[in-house]
Structures are given as structure tokens and as C-alpha cells.
Amino acid sequence: MEPVPTDFWGVVVPSWLGALASIAASTVAVIAFINSLSAKGGVREIGDALNREPTAHGAGERGLRGVAAAPEPWSVEIGRGVGAFRNTSGQLLTVTRMAATAGIEATLREQMPLEVPPDASFEVRLRRVLGGPAVRGVTLEWVPEDGERVTRTYYL
């Protein structure tokens, strides 16, 4: 049998270029994946820091004028698709509304309005939506014993 002639520039070179391009694309994908993991940790740290700040504002003008907010009334613990909101205010809080930001679905088993006594907690089932923004959160609206409606977003 006679060897079949191969078109070096028409077959061999494009094949090698395709192989090199796929190796380069795989390398870039691995680097992007590693960067996304480190960015996810940074976003989590920022969310935890924001959740510790007392930034709840009332419905009136008092919150808009920059008056110092009271200590944070809720502590948030997130784990395995469940968020636990614990009342740390020392008074009865009535949760009147809960909404999730883009990129997350939040489901509450109990009916609204939900009365949460001091040191009690309630759980929210959380499901992240693929392709959503990096910063995601749950917005709670509650009424303390003094009657002023308060809204705050807790970042996940």
C-alpha cells in the first residue's frame, strides 16, 4: 500500500490550532471558576457585615434624617437552604411582609402576620436561582410593640 498524502496546511495545522485553542479555553474556564469561588466568599463576608449593622429604618422621616438606629433586632443564620431569623430585640415583633430580592426564592411555612416573641425564631426556605445577581437578600417588614413599621434587607 502506498501512503496517503496529507495536506499539511489544510488539515494538520488547523487541527493543531483547534487543539491549542481548546486547551487555552479550558485553562481560562478553570481560572474563572477559581475566581468565582473567591468572589463568592467575599460577597458572603460583605453580606454578613451588612447584616450586623443597625440600619433598619422606620416608615417615617426619622430613618431618612440619619438618626442613629436601634441595635439590630434580628440575627440571621443561613445554612443548607434554610435561613433562621431570631428575634434579639427583647420585645414582641410582628412580621407583616417578607420578600426576596432577585436571584432567590424565599418560602415561609407560617401565615403572615407572624408574631415572634423575644429569643424565638422562624425559618425561611431559600432556593437560589441560577444566573441571578451575586448579592441576594430577603427583605423583612415588621412592627415592634411601639407600632412603627420597620423594613430591612438581610443579605445572604
What is the rounded distance in angstroms from the CA atom of residue 85 to the CA atom of residue 74? 6
Residue 120 belongs to some domain of the structure: yes
CA distances from 52 to 45, 48, 60 (A): 11, 6, 23
* Res 110 pLDDT > 90: no
Residue 33 belongs to some domain of the structure: no
User: For the domain that residue 97 is a member of, what is the CATH number?
Assistant: 2.60.40
Residue 43 belongs to some domain of the structure: no
Give the pLDDT of residue 146: 82
Selection from 52, 61, 138 nearest residue 100 by Cα:
138
Domain extent at residue 109: 53-155
**How many structural domains are present in the chain?**
1
Residue 6 belongs to some domain of the structure: no
Give the pLDDT of residue 67: 47
- Strand ranges of the sheet holding 104-108, from the earlier edge strand across to the other edge: 74-79, 82-87, 121-128, 104-108
Selection from 79, 58, 80, 59 nearest residue 69 by Cα:
58
Contact 119, 86 (CB under 8 A): yes
What is the rounded distance in angstroms from the CA atom of residue 68 to the CA atom of residue 85? 23
Give the pLDDT of residue 73: 87
Give the pLDDT of residue 10: 84
* Res 78 pLDDT > 60: yes
Distant-in-sequence, close-in-space partners of 8: CB < 8 Å, separation ≥ 6: none
* Between residues 67 and 122, the one the model is more confident about: 122
Give the pLDDT of residue 63: 43
pLDDT tens track for 15-65: 999 999 999 999 999 988 887 776 666 666 666 666 666 555 555 444 444
pLDDT tens track for 126-156: 888 777 777 788 899 999 988 889 888 888 7
CA angle 80, 85, 87 (to 5 degrees): 155
What is the rounded distance in angstroms from the CA atom of residue 105 to the CA atom of residue 142? 20
What is the rounded distance in angstroms from the CA atom of residue 122 to the CA atom of residue 86? 7
Give the pLDDT of residue 49: 67
Residue 139 belongs to some domain of the structure: yes
Q: What is the pTM of this model?
A: 0.61
Share of the chain above pLDDT 90, in %: 28
pLDDT tens track for 90-105: 899 999 999 988 788 8
Contact 88, 73 (CB under 8 A): yes
Give the pLDDT of residue 135: 75
